[in-house]
Structure formats: structure tokens, C-alpha cells
């Protein structure tokens, strides 16, 4: 029997994106939002394939991803514009579809919409502000996303004879503006077996990151591999979907000494949570990848779940400053991405200006 070490999984990343929290100071939200828009511009210049924003309520972050991405669409021309994730519980499936369609048209078909179902964050504080009556009686499940998808597909309302009249126009009614293809760019943030099964059966793309639920194991990687396998097992072979995997990746190479220590302290403060399942739902956390590019690459090549996806998403920490984010993105593009097989501008998914002009 050979004593040779097992061959590490081969990683082949063709799409490299980043996810940023969109922080801003309480007394000057414009400054923070402008920095985040500038970060999207920088990401595009560096060659990233996707720039994603978190949607957060009651926090110093983006409360409306559709509004923010519409603005970002006017500052960029190539990069995919994503949100991870919009809690569907607070949204009207029709009104959100209108907002997303408008933003997608303005971006010329670059939106990637990540969603989650279930009880949304801060529901005890926000529920009565969003819904008339008792919000606990509303359907906050996957069915709300299904209705959003139906609206995005642009079916006409009423029967074949139903029309609406507006100045200078008579037309059959449907969601406007209709953006063909947006329904195929819906993602679900899946961390449990139930959620990935729904995503597969609904035929939507799958987002998975550094948090999953330990339903049958205490091991993060084993749990994530099981979710990926279940999604692919149930997916209709005729349905072409995407799987994108996220990791907190913080390279030290371009940082000064004080910043390097800040990064190490950040990782150390979060390490204990990765040692065992947390809470009643047995939440499992992946350790943050903080180190030199060489150290991070070693960990990525040893990560069996990363090897199961051709799309990698850098999840930027909440606590850092824009200068930190800029350094992290720069190091990731020049020192990490190429060592994973990634080539800037070669993603099969990104709509280049040339492709957009050809299909206009």
C-alpha cells in the first residue's frame, strides 16, 4: 500500500467576485455609500467578474439592494452586479420584481439577485412597519420567492382581451419594464438541506458561503459538500444553473505592519466559533482565511468544497475600512486568483460591452 499523501483537490476558478457590506457612518451615509460605489468601480478595473452587496435593515448598510445596484450600474459597464441576500419576508413579490427589473434594464442585464426565505432579521422590530395587521400570519416561505419569479417572467395579467390605457398607448398589462432573462439570474442562499432542495427543484442558482447548518455532522466541509451534492442530485439535468461559493479571504501581502496585526486579531476573535456547532440550529462556521497569499492558496487548495465550484466569492469583513478592502481586492486579483486558474475577463458568465452591443 502506498504511503503517498492524497492528491489535493484541483481547483479551477473561472469566475471571481467579491461581496462587500456597504458600511457607512451614522452621521454621513453618503460618504460610505460613495466609497462602496467606488469599490465597485475599482473591482471592475481590477478585472473582477462580479461585485455583490449585502442587503441589511436597521443597520449602517444598504437597505435597498435594487436602488444601490441601479446606481452601481451607471458607474460600471461589465461587472456582474449581485445582492447576497435580500430577505424575501420584507418584500412584496410584485413591487420587488418591478424594482429589480428596472435596475436590470439600467444595467443592461447584469443583475444577479440572491434571496433568502424564512423569518427575516429584526422581525420583532420591523414586522409591523412592513405589513398591515399581524405580520406573523404572512407567508414568509419559499412561496414568496416563487411569486417573485412568476412576476419576473413577465406573463400578461388578465385574459387575452385585457388591456390598459395610458396617454398615447394601449397595451396588455404585465410587469414593466420587462427584462427577459432576469428570472434565470435568481440565486438562493442555501445553508440547509431543505433550502438546497428547494433551490434545485425551483431551478434557481445556489449561493453557499462560510456558514452552513450541521444537520448530520460537526464538520463544516463535510456539511457543505453534502449540500452541494444534494443540490446537484435534485437539479433537472436540462436546467443550467450556477453554484458560487464564498469564503472570507484576507491576504496580508499588501498591508502594512499595523494592518496585518489588525487582520490577525480579527481572525483570532472569530476562531472559537469554528470549533463546534453554535446554537439550537447547529450553525457551522468556516475559519477565516487570513494570511499571506501563499498561506491562503494552500488552504484553498486543501478545501474540498472550493474544488466543487468554479465560482469563488470573496466575502469582505464588516469591520474594515475602504482602504483595507482596496488592498484585499488588489492582492486577491494579482496574487491569488491567477494561482486558482482564474483569468481576468475570461468568465463565461460575464456580459462584456461587446456581447451587450451584439444582443442589443
Q: How far apart are CA 96 and CA 186, in angstroms?
A: 13
113-123 pLDDT tens trace: 999 999 999 99
Which helix (H) or strand (E) segment holds residue 115: the answer is strand 111-116
How far is CA 127 from each of CA 9, 116, 119, 142, 293, rounded to the nearest angstrom? 45, 16, 10, 18, 44
| pLDDT band per the 50, 70, 90 thresholds, residue 355 | low
320-354 pLDDT tens trace: 999 999 999 999 999 999 999 999 999 999 876 55
Higher pLDDT, 261 or 166: 261
| pLDDT band per the 50, 70, 90 thresholds, residue 310 | very high
| pLDDT band per the 50, 70, 90 thresholds, residue 285 | very high
How far is CA 308 from each of CA 62, 68, 209, 265, 315, rounded to the nearest angstrom? 31, 31, 13, 30, 18
Higher pLDDT, 298 or 173: 298
143-153 pLDDT tens trace: 999 999 999 99
Owner of C-alpha cell 434571496: 115
Q: Rounded mean pLDDT of the chain?
A: 94
Burial 36-47 (b: 16+ CB within 10 A, else e): bbebbbbbbebb
pLDDT value of residue 360 = 47
pLDDT value of residue 92 = 94
pLDDT value of residue 325 = 98
pLDDT value of residue 356 = 54
| pLDDT band per the 50, 70, 90 thresholds, residue 307 | very high
Q: How far apart are CA 186 and CA 183, in angstroms?
A: 6
Best CA proximity match to 89, nearest among 116, 109, 62, 70: 116
The radius of gyration computed from the CA coordinates of the chain, to the nearest angstrom, equals 21
| pLDDT band per the 50, 70, 90 thresholds, residue 168 | confident
Q: How far apart are CA 309 and CA 210, in angstroms?
A: 14
pLDDT value of residue 251 = 98
| pLDDT band per the 50, 70, 90 thresholds, residue 1 | very low
- Whether the per-residue pLDDT at 179 is higher than 60: the answer is yes
Amino acid at each position: 500500500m502506498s504511503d503517498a499523501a492524497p492528491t489535493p483537490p484541483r481547483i479551477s476558478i473561472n469566475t471571481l467576485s467579491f461581496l462587500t457590506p456597504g458600511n457607512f457612518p451614522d452621521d454621513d451615509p453618503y460618504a460610505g455609500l460613495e466609497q462602496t460605489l467606488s469599490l465597485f468601480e475599482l473591482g471592475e478595473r481590477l478585472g473582477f467578474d462580479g461585485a455583490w452587496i449585502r442587503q441589511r435593515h436597521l443597520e449602517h448598510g444598504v437597505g435597498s439592494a435594487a436602488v444601490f445596484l441601479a446606481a452601481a450600474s451607471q458607474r460600471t459597464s461589465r461587472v456582474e452586479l449581485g445582492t447576497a441576500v435580500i430577505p424575501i419576508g420584507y418584500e412584496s413579490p410584485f413591487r420587488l420584481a418591478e424594482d429589480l427589473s428596472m435596475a436590470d434594464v439600467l444595467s443592461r442585464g447584469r443583475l444577479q439577485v440572491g434571496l433568502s426565505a424564512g423569518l427575516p432579521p429584526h422581525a420583532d422590530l420591523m414586522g409591523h412597519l412592513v405589513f398591515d395587521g399581524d405580520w406573523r400570519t404572512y407567508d414568509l416561505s419559499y412561496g414568496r420567492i416563487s411569486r417573485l419569479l412568476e412576476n419576473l417572467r413577465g406573463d400578461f395579467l388578465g385574459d387575452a382581451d385585457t388591456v390598459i390605457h395610458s396617454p398615447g398607448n394601449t397595451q396588455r398589462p404585465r410587469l414593466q419594464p420587462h427584462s427577459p432573462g432576469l428570472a434565470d439570474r435568481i440565486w438562493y442562499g442555501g445553508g440547509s438541506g431543505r433550502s438546497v432542495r428547494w433551490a434545485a427543484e425551483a431551478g434557481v442558482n445556489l449561493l453557499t458561503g462560510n456558514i452552513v447548518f450541521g444537520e448530520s455532522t460537526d464538520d463544516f466541509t463535510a456539511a457543505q459538500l453534502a449540500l452541494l451534492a444534494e443540490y446537484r442530485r435534485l437539479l433537472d439535468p436540462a436546467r443550467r444553473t450556477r453554484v458560487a461559493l464564498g469564503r472570507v479571504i484576507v491576504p496580508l501581502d499588501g498591508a502594512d505592519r499595523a494592518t496585518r496585526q489588525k487582520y490577525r486579531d480579527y481572525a483570532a476573535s472569530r476562531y472559537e466559533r469554528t470549533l463546534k456547532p453554535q446554537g439550537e440550529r447547529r450553525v457551522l462556521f468556516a475559519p477565516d482565511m487570513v494570511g499571506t497569499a501563499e498561506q491562503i492558496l494552500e488552504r484553498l487548495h486543501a478545501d474540498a468544497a472550493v474544488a466543487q465550484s468554479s465560482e469563488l466569492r470573496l466575502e469582505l469583513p464588516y469591520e474594515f475600512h475602504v482602504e483595507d478592502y482596496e488592498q484585499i481586492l488588489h492582492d486577491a486579483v494579482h496574487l491569488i486568483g491567477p494561482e486558482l486558474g482564474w483569468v481576468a475577463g475570461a468568465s463565461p458568465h460575464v456580459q462584456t460591452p461587446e456581447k451587450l452591443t451584439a444582443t442589443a
